[in-house]
C-alpha cells in the first residue's frame, strides 16, 4: 500500500515536470517568434549590432554627466560612484535603444 502511494506520487511529479517542460518550451517558442530581424547598423561597410552603438553613446553621455556633476559640485554628494555611473550607462543605453531602434 505504501509503495503504491509512493509510486503514484512519483508518477504525478513526473507528470508535473513533463507539463512544466512543455509549457516552458511553448513559451520560449512564442516569445522568440518576434525576433524577425537582427537590429544591425552598417557603419563604414561593417555591420555592428545596434546595442554596441547605444552602449558607446551612453558611455559618452555618462562622461558628459560626470563633467556636469563635477562642475556643479554635486559629485561629493553622490555615492557609490561606480554603482551610479554603471547604472547610468545601463539606463542610457537601454533608453537609447528603445527610442532609436524599437
3-state secondary structure of 1: coil
43 phi, psi to nearest 5 deg: -120, 110
3-state secondary structure of 98: helix
**CA 53, CA 46: separation in Å to the nearest integer?**
13
- Please provide the size of the chain in residues: 102
**CA 47, CA 29: separation in Å to the nearest integer?**
27
- pTM of the full predicted structure? 0.59
**CA 70, CA 76: separation in Å to the nearest integer?**
8
What is the pLDDT tens value at each position of the chain, 102 positions in all? 555 566 566 556 657 777 778 778 878 877 766 655 667 777 787 787 888 989 999 999 999 999 999 999 999 899 899 999 999 999 999 999 999 887
Amino acid at each position: 500500500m505504501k509503495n503504491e502511494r509512493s509510486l503514484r506520487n512519483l508518477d504525478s511529479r513526473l507528470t508535473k515536470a513533463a507539463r512544466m517542460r512543455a509549457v516552458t518550451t511553448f513559451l520560449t517558442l512564442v516569445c522568440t517568434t518576434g525576433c524577425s530581424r537582427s537590429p544591425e547598423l552598417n557603419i563604414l561597410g561593417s555591420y555592428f549590432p545596434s546595442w554596441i552603438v547605444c552602449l558607446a553613446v551612453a558611455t559618452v553621455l555618462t562622461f558628459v554627466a560626470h563633467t556636469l556633476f563635477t562642475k556643479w559640485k554635486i559629485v561629493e554628494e553622490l555615492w557609490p560612484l561606480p554603482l551610479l555611473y554603471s547604472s547610468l550607462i545601463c539606463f542610457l543605453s537601454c533608453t537609447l535603444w528603445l527610442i532609436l531602434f524599437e
